[in-house]
Amino acid sequence: MLLLKDLVRKVKDLPPLPDIVVKLLQASRDPDASVREMVELIKHDPALTTKVLRLCNSSYYGLPRKINSIQEALVYIGTDTLVNFILAGCLAAFYQQSQDGYGLESGDLWRHSVGCAIAAQLLSPADDDALKSEAFTAGLLHDVGKIILSSFVGDKMQEIMDIVKDEDIPFEKAERRILGFSHTEAGAQMAKMWNLPEPLIEAISLHQTPQAAVNHKRLVAQVHVANILCISFGIGIGTDGLAYSFDPSAMEELELNSDDLYAISVKVHDQFSRAEDMIGLIAPTGHADAKAA
């Protein structure tokens, strides 16, 4: 059984979240932060600048002219999208390894996270750019706890799945009973240690139990439904499969019925297919370069 100190030690063993991510997240939530400040943060990182320009000039955006500077990129794709992209680029490094404990092959968790980010964003009100951006980020991060728990799951996966089936309870409850922590709790602990904003911590922590959300009910509901959609479509799922509970209170919060959800699923599929290009671009280890060549 895991103790909190084991978890903390494991998080400390991970590479730290790059400073630029935390600074950009803070700047993007600050209405007084200027585009110039954002550009200043990014332009001192040549590798990041190259990736951002490559993304802007990719078929994903299909812009009519070539973008040559971060300043131009911000004008064309907007600050929120740029922050999302940079965050995704930094997080990709954490997600590329296989999470063998969960039966996830290399890249599976990343595909699941990108799918969830796209779906969570699409579930936002059309006129709420801030929530769209926050939902995308929360979607990317919602299962981050699997990265550290994977090595502890090890050969206990079968035991966890036996409990799921015998007692008909959701995966995270059986996971907590066997390991001492669920991946949602582990993820929330990571997010706290990385000093991520409070709405993201709540979304990571409660995305399986959205009725427990207090301060960010809408965001948590979006991530819950997005996660259920991606699991249902088999996007980056592992041995845990579809062993998660759907909470209808999230649909009430979002004022959706199942037909609305089916219609949104088509859009998720369309955007996820187009994002394959983006997924390749932000891969950290040679993938993007190989693709560009």
Q: To the nearest whole angstrom, how small is the minimum distance from the Cβ of residue 252 to another protein?
A: 9
Q: Which of 125, 270, 285, 292 binds another protein (CB under 8 A)?
A: 270
Number of Cβ atoms within 10 Å of the Cβ of 108: 18
Q: Which of 19, 64, 215, 258 binds another protein (CB under 8 A)?
A: 258
Q: Which of 88, 179, 261, 281 binds another protein (CB under 8 A)?
A: 261
On whether the CB atoms of residues 122 and 230 are closer than 8 A, the answer is: no
Q: Which of 157, 187, 182 is nearest to 14 (CA)?
A: 187
Q: Which of 75, 78, 113, 69 is nearest to 92 (CA)?
A: 113
The reply on whether position 210 binds another protein by CB under 8 A is: no
Position 185, amino acid:
E
- The whole-angstrom separation of Cα 3 and Cα 113 is 27
The reply on whether position 238 binds another protein by CB under 8 A is: yes
The reply on whether position 221 binds another protein by CB under 8 A is: no
Which residue stretch of 47-55, 162-170, 175-183, 212-220 sits at the interface with another protein (rule: CB under 8 A)?
Answer: 162-170
Which residue stretch of 18-26, 126-134, 174-182, 260-268 sits at the interface with another protein (rule: CB under 8 A)?
Answer: 260-268
Number of Cβ atoms within 10 Å of the Cβ of 97: 14
Q: To the nearest whole angstrom, how small is the minimum distance from the Cβ of residue 272 to another protein?
A: 9
- The whole-angstrom separation of Cα 161 and Cα 47 is 42
- Of 59 and 158, the one with the shorter C-beta distance to another protein is 158
On whether the CB atoms of residues 142 and 207 are closer than 8 A, the answer is: yes
The reply on whether position 220 binds another protein by CB under 8 A is: no
Three-state secondary structure call for residue 213: coil
- The whole-angstrom separation of Cα 188 and Cα 115 is 20
The reply on whether position 103 binds another protein by CB under 8 A is: yes
- Whose tokens are 């187009």? That residue is 274
Which residue stretch of 18-26, 123-131, 209-217, 258-266 sits at the interface with another protein (rule: CB under 8 A)?
Answer: 258-266
The reply on whether position 292 binds another protein by CB under 8 A is: no
Q: To the nearest whole angstrom, how small is the minimum distance from the Cβ of residue 271 to another protein?
A: 12
The reply on whether position 76 binds another protein by CB under 8 A is: no
The reply on whether position 52 binds another protein by CB under 8 A is: no
- The whole-angstrom separation of Cα 193 and Cα 14 is 11
**Three-state secondary structure readout of 209-242:** CHHHCCCCHHHHHHHHHHHHHHHHCCCCCCCCCC
Q: Which of 120, 231, 278, 282 binds another protein (CB under 8 A)?
A: 231
Q: Which of 75, 76, 95 is nearest to 87 (CA)?
A: 95
Binding site for another protein (CB under 8 A): 103, 157, 161, 164-165, 168, 170, 228, 231-235, 237-239, 241-246, 248, 251, 258-259, 261-263, 265-266, 269-270
